[in-house]
Structure formats: structure tokens, C-alpha cells
């Protein structure tokens, strides 16, 4: 294998930028495979596993940038390198004009006294240090970085709490502050609903459902996925509730998370009474009794949460779309008796969990048991296991690779592979639109869908593809165009991640063993 590598000494780029650049580099003519990343030990380990680690790359330091290219057959890698370097320099502000850079957070804060928020997207080994600098300079923090020790998270959130600042993260991928979407987010209308969420795609799902129902978002505060753990104690969610309670633009509050640690759930729910505003609580698989006893409105799904929120802010009540029973029966009639399994291939962790939860139609006790078996969510090594749901955004799949919302290549390969299994009735997928996501997630997936269906058809089987597109009419690309492309390809479209799981359950209902 021919490998061309360029090392740029002491050239730091944040992880968000490099994810996007790697995806674009892999789309260049003449590129078989491209890898653009900082020379951390983790990234060098990935290159070693891929057989791409040269001696020069092995010697590179954490502050060095690596550009690694495996050329396509007959292509010249040397001709591709300048194109990738151009991608690295093409980072002018969206509004035009020259980019302004500062060497330190303190210098940036001093140059713009009106700034009040810093986004941290550096390697996890340095993220806590930079976040502390931002907090010490009076800045709220959104930390996109992951792989930050929980001890550092606890210390940072204690520091932020003492200063009256927000510490969103680590591993916080979504926020909307004063109608500006940060990192991964969707273009939604302003409105009176505030969200505090320990889930990125979960909060996106609730925000776009509220938008679709005619409502709007005042603020969306991310907490990071560990915030409601016993170790961290829900510090950011509690501070987020208090911030929204004091926000004049917010009339109702929605809380989103996977089930918190029991002692943390009690602390969070105790904040409801003092909020002075209606609070909708959507903790996947959570307890309705605990929420209602605390004075909140319980939501069993993201769609339920959105419906409750718009109702509480005075919009006309809306109903979930009716089930298309005729289409369900049509699909069932095309399946063989052996096709009893569902395979879920997801970009969003909460979308994956929510669809799986709906597929199983599981109560709280069953969900608790599933959570003890993480292989069910992450997928089994043996693909014949039965219903298998994978979150391709999990650390297992993103270690040294871009998030699947940016680069879906892992998911596309698995889609084709799953089509070879005669027990698979349907493959269910999510497509996440919005800021930071792939510029055409449907378009890049359609060839793999076509190939997967051909594999099944050649074996005399029908393979149903079920998709949910998370996005709005204001996103680019827009919801309507992406949905239309899937419909034209014969894909079944659902209206929410919950509806995805419910449809899957309906077509294989005899095979469900929850």
C-alpha cells in the first residue's frame, strides 16, 4: 500500500474543523483514503491499526498535524496534498472578511469584552486546562471535547457554578444560545420553550419536533452526557433549570436525558417546584410517578415532550400522525418467514435508544435490564443475534474517526453487510441535518441503499429500509429535499425516532421477545 504523509510541526487545528476537513479530503479525486488529524497517541494508534503509520508519523508530537493519503489506483498522492492543504487554509468567517485568530483565550477575551462564551474543541488531554482559562476570564464554556477525566469535569462544573457561569460538557455537541446554534444544531424558529439536555441528538430531536408543531426554542443548554451520573451529580442540569427559570424568553422548560442515577434524579426533580414555570421531563425509560409527584409533566418519548411543551406554551394541541396500517401490512406480505429481525444503524445515540425502546415496547423494568446489556445497543459481534441496534457515534466507532454525522462511511459499509443476512426484515436509520453535519447525508447513503437492496433481491428477499430525517425546513439541505430523495428511492419515511421503532415493531411483531 502506497502511503504519502506530511507532518506540519506545531500546527494546531481543533477537532471540529479536522472532522470536516477529513470528510472533504476523502471526497477529493485521486484519494483512496485520507486521514487528517493531530498526532496524538490515540490517532497514531488508529493509523497503526490501519497499517498507515510510517516511522516519521510515529515520531510526530501531540502538537503536530498529520496529513496521510493513500491514493486511488493510478492517482498521484503528491498532487492531492496541496488540495488538502488548501482545505486547511479555507476557513474564512461565514460573513466574509479576514479571519481573526488569537494565541490565547485571555487575549481573545480582552480583545472582545462583549464576548461571553468560549467553545472548547481541543484534544481531551488539554481541554480542561483551556476551559479553566475561559472560566477564569468570565466566559461561559461549551466543551465539545471528549475523553476528559470525570474528576476534571467535576472540578470545572464546581468552578463554573461558583462563578455563576455555564459549563456545558465535556462531550457537549449541541446548544442553541440566544437563537444561535452551536456545533451540531438545527435551524429552528425562536420561541418560548427552553431545553436542558444531557443528550445531543436527543435535544435536536425535541427541538425539531417543537419547530414542526409550530413552536420555537428560547435556549438549548447542553450538559454533556455524564452530567446526571452519580459522580457529577447533575450540576449543569440544575444550573440550566435555574438559568431558564430566570430567562424572560422562556415560558416552559423541557429536560432530556437517558435515565439519571437515582439520587441525581431526585435532586433534579426537586428543582421543578422552584422553577416557577411548567417543566416537561423526558428521561428515556424514566418513572412517570416520580415526575408527576415532583410536579412535572412526564413524557414517554421525544415526540410526547414536544407535544407537551407546545401545549404548555399556549399553541393548539396537536396529535401524533396516524399509523399507516395498510403500508405495514404491505411490507409484512413481502417478507419471508425467516425475516424476523431488525437492524438499527444510527448516527445519534438517543435516536438509537429511543427507536429501540419503541421497538421493544418496553416498560421501565425491561429497559433497566437492557441498559445492563450494552451489547444490545452497540451491536453484537455475531450479527445473527437478532434485533441489533448500533450507535455509530459511540466512542467504539469514533475513536480516531470523524463522527458519523460528518463521515458516514462506517455505517454505509455495515448497511451493505447487513443486507446479506437472510433473517433481516428491515434496516432502520436516522439522517441528521443541520449545522456541522454532512452536507448531503441522504445523497451519500443512497448508493449503499441501492447495493443493499440488490443483494437482498438477488437472494429472493425484500429488504425494507426505514428512515427518519431529523431536520427542519430551515436547515441546509432542507428537510423536504432530503425526504423526497429517500421517498424516490423507495424508502419508508417515519415522522420521529419513536415512530421508527414502532413501525419496525409492527412489521415483525411476531418476532418480538422483549
For residue 444, the model assigns a pLDDT of 93
In a domain, 233, yes or no: yes
For residues 297 and 344, state if they share a domain: no
Q: How far is CA 151 from CA 222, 229, 351, in A?
A: 19, 12, 28
Length of the chain (residues): 514
> Could you say which residues of the chain have pLDDT below 70?
1, 90-101, 317-321, 362-385, 399-401, 510-514
Burial of 382 per CB tally in 10 Å (0-12, 13-18, 19+): exposed
Distance CA 259, CA 243 (A): 22
In a domain, 319, yes or no: no
Q: How many domains does the chain have?
A: 3
Contact predicate 72/21, CB 8 Å? no
For residues 369 and 339, state if they share a domain: yes
For residues 195 and 269, state if they share a domain: yes
Distance CA 482, CA 475 (A): 10
pLDDT digits (tens, 9 = 90+) for 175-229: 999 999 999 999 999 999 999 999 999 999 999 999 999 999 999 999 999 999 9
For residues 275 and 296, state if they share a domain: yes
In a domain, 318, yes or no: no
Looking at 39, 56, 89, the residue that finishes a domain is: 89
Distance CA 437, CA 406 (A): 5
Distance CA 387, CA 340 (A): 8
Query: Which of 451, 459, 411, 405 shows the shortest CA–CA distance to 432?
Result: 405
For residues 308 and 335, state if they share a domain: no
For residues 307 and 333, state if they share a domain: no
In a domain, 26, yes or no: yes
Instruction: For residue 477, say if its preceding peptide bond is cis, omega within 30 degrees of 0.
Output: yes
Q: Got the DSSP string for 225-249?
A: TTTTSTTT-SHHHHHHHHHHHT-TT
For residues 219 and 245, state if they share a domain: yes
For residue 318, the model assigns a pLDDT of 64
Residue 376, SS3 per DSSP: helix
Identify the domain containing residue 47 by its residue range.
4-89
Q: How many Cβ atoms sit within 10 Å of the Cβ of residue 447?
A: 11
HSE of 292 in the Cβ direction (CA atoms, 13 Å)?
6
In a domain, 157, yes or no: yes
Q: Please, which residues bridge with residue 6 across strands?
A: 67
pLDDT above 90: percentage of residues in the chain = 61
For residues 225 and 132, state if they share a domain: yes
For residues 223 and 198, state if they share a domain: yes
List the CATH number of the domain containing 431: 3.40.50.261
Cell representation of residue 323? 399509523
For residues 50 and 143, state if they share a domain: no
Looking at 56, 89, 122, the residue that finishes a domain is: 89
Query: pTM of the prediction?
Result: 0.81
For residues 37 and 170, state if they share a domain: no
For residues 224 and 131, state if they share a domain: yes
Amino acid at each position: 500500500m502506497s502511503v504519502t504523509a506530511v507532518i506540519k510541526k506545531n500546527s494546531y487545528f481543533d477537532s471540529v474543523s479536522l472532522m470536516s476537513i477529513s470528510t472533504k479530503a476523502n471526497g477529493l479525486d485521486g484519494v483512496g483514503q485520507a486521514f487528517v488529524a493531530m498526532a496524538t497517541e490515540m490517532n497514531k494508534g488508529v493509523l497503526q491499526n490501519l497499517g498507515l503509520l510510517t516511522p516519521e508519523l510515529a515520531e510526530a508530537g501531540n502538537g503536530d498535524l498529520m496529513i496521510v493519503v493513500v491514493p486511488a489506483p493510478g492517482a498521484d498522492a503528491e498532487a492531492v496534498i496541496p488540495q488538502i492543504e488548501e482545505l486547511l487554509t479555507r476557513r474564512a468567517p461565514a460573513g466574509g472578511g479576514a479571519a481573526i485568530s488569537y494565541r490565547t483565550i485571555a487575549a481573545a477575551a480582552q480583545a472582545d469584552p462583549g464576548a461571553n462564551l468560549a467553545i472548547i474543541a481541543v484534544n481531551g488531554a488539554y481541554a480542561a486546562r483551556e476551559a479553566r482559562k475561559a472560566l477564569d476570564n468570565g466566559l461561559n464554556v461549551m466543551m465539545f471535547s471528549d475523553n476528559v477525566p470525570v474528576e476534571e469535569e467535576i472540578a470545572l462544573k464546581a468552578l463554573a457554578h461558583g462563578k455563576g457561569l455555564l459549563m456545558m460538557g465535556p462531550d457537549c455537541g449541541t446548544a442553541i444560545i440566544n437563537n444561535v446554534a452551536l456545533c451540531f444544531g438545527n435551524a429552528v424558529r425562536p420561541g418560548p420553550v427552553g431545553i436542558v439536555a444531557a443528550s445531543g441528538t436527543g435535544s435536536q430531536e425535541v427541538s425539531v419536533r417543537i419547530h414542526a408543531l409550530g413552536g420555537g426554542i428560547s435556549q438549548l443548554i447542553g450538559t454533556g452526557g455524564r452530567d446526571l451520573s452519580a459522580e457529577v451529580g447533575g450540576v449543569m442540569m440544575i444550573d440550566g433549570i435555574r438559568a431558564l427559570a430566570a430567562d424572560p424568553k422562556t415560558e416552559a422548560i423541557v429536560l432530556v436525558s437517558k435515565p439519571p442515577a437515582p439520587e441525581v434524579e431526585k435532586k433534579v426533580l426537586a428543582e421543578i417546584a422552584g422553577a416557577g414555570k411548567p417543566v416537561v421531563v423526558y428521561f428515556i425509560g424514566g418513572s412517570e410517578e416520580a415526575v408527576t409527584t415532583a410536579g412535572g409533566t412526564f413524557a414517554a418519548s421525544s415526540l410526547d415532550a414536544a407535544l407537551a411543551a407546545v401545549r404548555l406554551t399556549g399553541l393548539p394541541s396537536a396529535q401524533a400522525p396516524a399509523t399507516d396500517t395498510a403500508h405495514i401490512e404491505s411490507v409484512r406480505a413481502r417478507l419471508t418467514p425467516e425475516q424476523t429481525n431488525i437492524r438499527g444503524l444510527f448516527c445519534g445515540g438517543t435516536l438509537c435508544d429511543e427507536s429501540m425502546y419503541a421497538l421493544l415496547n418496553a416498560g421501565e423494568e425491561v429497559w433497566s435490564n437492557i441498559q445492563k446489556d450494552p451489547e444490545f445497543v452497540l451491536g453484537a459481534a455475531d450479527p445473527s443475534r437478532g434485533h441489533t441496534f448500533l450507535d455509530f457515534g459511540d466512542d467504539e466507532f469514533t475513536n480516531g474517526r470523524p463522527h458519523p454525522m460528518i463521515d458516514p462511511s462506517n455505517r454505509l459499509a455495515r448497511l451493505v453487510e447487513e443486507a446479506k443476512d437472510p433473517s433481516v426484515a428491515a434496516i432502520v436509520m436516522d439522517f441528521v441535518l443541520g449545522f456541522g453535519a454532512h452536507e448531503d447525508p441522504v445523497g451519500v447513503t443512497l448508493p449503499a441503499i441501492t447495493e443493499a437492496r440488490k443483494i437482498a433481491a438477488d437472494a429472493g428477499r425484500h429488504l425494507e429500509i426505514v428512515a427518519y430525517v431529523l431536520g427542519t425546513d430551515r436547515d441546509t439541505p432542507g428537510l423536504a429535499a432530503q425526504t423526497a430523495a429517500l421517498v424516490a428511492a423507495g424508502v419508508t419515511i417515519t415522522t420521529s425516532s419513536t415512530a421508527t421503532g414502532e413501525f419496525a415493531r409492527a412489521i415483525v411483531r411476531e418476532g418480538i421477545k422483549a
